[in-house]
Amino acid sequence: MTTTLSGKVALVTGASRGIGAAIAKRLAAEGAAVAITYVNGKAKADEVVESIKSSGGKAVALQADSGDPAAIKSAVDQTAETLKRLDIIVNNAGIAVLKPIDQFAIEDFDRMVAINIRGVFAGAQAAARYMDKGGRIITIGSTNADRMPFVGGSVYAMTKAAVAGLTRGLARDLGPRGITVNAIQPGPVDTDLNPAEGEFAGMIKGLTALGRYAHVSEVAGFTAYLASDEAGYITGACLTIDGGFAA
């Protein structure tokens, strides 16, 4: 087990499965104590926690809806109280509703904004209050902030473009305190919600230069790097990991 994050505490939102679960496990493997949030998937969240513990790590699961700013603040507070500090937050929770604009319900619009934008702000704001020099705020955005090549993704792309703007602004706000703020912008990633052999996978693979989906471990590894001391001079960056999707 490597220890690049030994002594650090991280909170990963929406980490009961997929990219979030992979990130939580990787940060723990690097030596961090990890808290994860979930909404309804308690059993899955518990599996992530047990996986980390069985490998010698420390982890806790907290129920929190990223669409509720009070719940996110509470999760941050609980992390700092339970694990005694907070050095890293990974704003991973997000949703995607893909529909042509003339079919898009305002309720779906509001929910996406609440989770994908307001939830990121609430998490960053609450976490920054606990962070000292060397703190890391990392958000999982999307390459769709820069390129949306198919019908129905306009609102999703808007929310991820907002995350990119927020990342750059927060980097300025928190830079004087030695806290870095960055966004990772994945392209297609093989998860249960977006499988590499799914209905639209052929079309999506054709849009990438490498002709494949990413593995969750690749996004997790990128996240671990940004959380490390080696990435201390990277801030305000929106870093794409998309197999050439936006090339």
Residue numbers annotated as active site: 156
Whole-number Å distance between alpha carbons of 244 and 247: 5
Q: Give the chain's radius of gyration (CA, Å).
A: 17
Q: Calculate ∠ Cα 195-199-202, nearest 5°.
A: 85
- Per-residue tokens: 133: 């020099």
Whole-number Å distance between alpha carbons of 220 and 22: 6
* Phi-psi region at 123: left, alpha or beta (left = phi > 0; alpha = psi -120 to 50): alpha
Type and span of the H or E element at 90: strand 88-91
DSSP code, position 118:
I
Q: How far is CA 188 from CA 17, 64, 183, 212, 230, in A?
A: 16, 26, 16, 8, 27
Name, in order, each residue with C-beta under 8 angstroms of 176's C-beta and a sequence gap of 6 or more: none
